[in-house]
Amino acid sequence: MATHSNKPRPMVALQTMTTYDYIIVGAGSAGCVLANRLSADPAVKVCLLEAGPVDSSPFIRMPIGIIAMMMSKVMNWRYFTEPQKNLNNRRLFWPRGKTLGGSSSSNAMVYTRGHAWDYDHWAALGNAGWSYAQVLPLFRRAENHERGADAFHGVGGPLNVAPLRSPNLLTGVYVKAAVQAGFVENKDFNGANQEGVSPYEVTQKNGERWSVARAYLHPVLKRPNLTVITEARTTKVLLDGKRARGVAYIKGGKTVEIAATQEVILSGGAINSPQLLMLSGIGPVNELQKHGIAVQHALPGVGQNLQDHLDLMVVHKCTKPVSLGVSPTTLLAQVKHLFNYIFNRKGALTTNGAEGGGFVKSDASQTIPDLQFHFAAVHLEDHARNLKSALSTMFGHGYTLHVCDLRPKSRGYIGLKSADPAADALIEPNYLSHPDDMKTMVKGVKVARSVLAAQAFDAYRGVEMFPGRHVQTDAQIEAFVREKAATIYHPVGTCKMGHDAMAVVDDTLKVHGMQGLRVVDASIMPTLVGGNTNAPTVMIAEKASSMILASRSVERVVAMQAGVLHAHEVQDSIPA
């Protein structure tokens, strides 16, 4: 068992360690952005630590390889929640990416930002600089939108956003059916209005997954001032009183300590970032003492405020062999798909799985969409997380309409199972603990069914596999929710941004009461955005890097005024 004492150490210890200006823990979507932007200044030394391996697997680049990534025990953390009392005591599977690019190397590549209201709400909570008008330029800066630039989209940014190259026939059927069911068609969920249905745009380039690692990290790996260390599990933030001075990590069975002269930045995500803070003695006193961890800084909000999109699937068999599934009649087509992908990067293997999208209102009383659709031209079950469920997904023909509650009121938490840094965190989402969430889920099932019952599906509609024709009353739908609801992979909020007693970071993402320590990832979201969370995480890191670089420029101006630096050195450090 590793020791977890965080007694202050003499500053001379810095001389015995490898020293960087910035240490970034976690090479996921946020960490890759930070590594790129901070190391753009050649005078700044940056170290990026990642617990997983390099992102060299061909299943990462091949979009349909998401199935293999879901099953991987090497590139996927494969977390499970605590038994959920409102979901028949099931332990829900929570996949998270564990490689360069993090979950952007294994997700469904859907590019959505959420609703403008979400960011205005963050600002209304007291977070200066986070309104929609203020973050929109950061979304545009990050983006290379293949359809071209406009008031809402940018070109020339690292993150390529493209239309699906070869959408399945059923995705078009879904859009027609949704319009027949009374919803509007909207070809840009990230434009002036979010509401409506359409195929999703995806983070792909030339038919391949364009992870945040490929977008931001790969082009700068040869910078001499950037060090990337993979298969390195960070175990502790090293502290001198209330200042972060470095981190300890394990690689190859050996513990290594490295120092940061400027900042330690945690970008491990909504699970790993609060876990590392607690392992380092920063967090709720009771939780730390329960595991024998010396309290270095009492911060009650660490790990609290966990939010996630709970999701349900309405699943039908398809009467025609036109889905993405495999059957005897489509074996030759599957061979053609493989060759089409290898030589043209087109065809069925470029699918992101969840091709069709939608943001709709569960009823007329909603002012903004409170439900999200993901349409998949396969019959899905249990995440394709093991061989049995993967084969069930791949073989046979069907289609699935996911529906999730965009702004759940239930709140959970991340805790510790052990003081051992190699142990998984305790994940307690506390799904459906607020009664309004069940009401929304029941309405969501009804709305999804209305789409799949529309005339456009008449030629393809087979038996409803889930919930099944026998499930009709609200009570029966509630029972179905408890039996089948699952995550759609958007945990956030566990190091929330704000200025109240339960906030972990301020609106510059600095940890309250600490020096030299920030959290930059989806955990800082005070409330869950109404959409997929990868693009917002990239935006968060873009904003954080701008704030860090601006702060550095101010410090250098002060140093110049003190006669320490020359004017040209200050000019070189000012970010574009």
Which residues are annotated as catalytic? 490
Do the Cβ atoms of 537 and 30 come closer than 8 Å? yes
Spatial distance between the Cα atoms of 114 and 120, rounded to a whole number of angstroms: 11
Separation CA 163–CA 568 (nearest Å): 44
Q: How many CB atoms lie within 10 A of CB 562?
A: 8
Query: What are the DSSP E strand ranges found in 67-112?
Result: 79-80, 93-94
Closest by alpha carbon to 103, among 199, 9, 200, 203? 203
Helix (H) or strand (E) holding 466: strand 461-466
Helix (H) or strand (E) holding 314: strand 310-318
* Identity of the amino acid at 243: R
In eight-state DSSP terms, residue 369 is -
Residue identified by tokens 């709970």 is 310
Q: What distance in Å separates the CA atoms of residue 307 and residue 300, rounded to the nearest whole number?
A: 17
Q: What are 527's two structure tokens? A: 């409330």
Helix H segments across 329-473?
A: 331-344, 387-394, 435-452
Q: How many CB atoms lie within 10 A of CB 543?
A: 22
Buried b (16+ CB within 10 A) or exposed e, 14-40: beebebbbbbbbbbbbbbbbbbbbbbb
What distance, in Å, lies between the first and last C-alpha atoms of the chain?
Answer: 47
Per the DSSP assignment, residues forming a β-bridge with 256 are 249
CA distance to 1, 193, 397, per residue, from 538 (Å): 36, 21, 36
Helix intervals (H) in 453-533 = 474-484
Residue 539, SS3 per DSSP: helix
**Which helix (H) or strand (E) segment is 425 a member of?**
strand 425-428
The first and second tokens of residue 110, run together, are 């859907």
Judge whether 521 and 268 are in contact, CB under 8 Å.
yes
| Cβ 246 vs Cβ 257: under 8 Å | yes
What are the DSSP E strand ranges found in 120-169?
143-145, 159-163
Of all helices (H) and strands (E), which one includes residue 174?
helix 169-180
In three-state secondary structure terms, 307 is strand
Residues near 555 by beta carbon (within 8 Å), at least 6 away in sequence: none
Q: Where are the beta strands (DSSP E) in 377-424?
A: 398-405, 413-416
Number of other CB atoms surrounding residue 173 within 10 Å: 24
Beta carbons within 8 Å of 422's beta carbon, 6+ residues apart: 233, 250
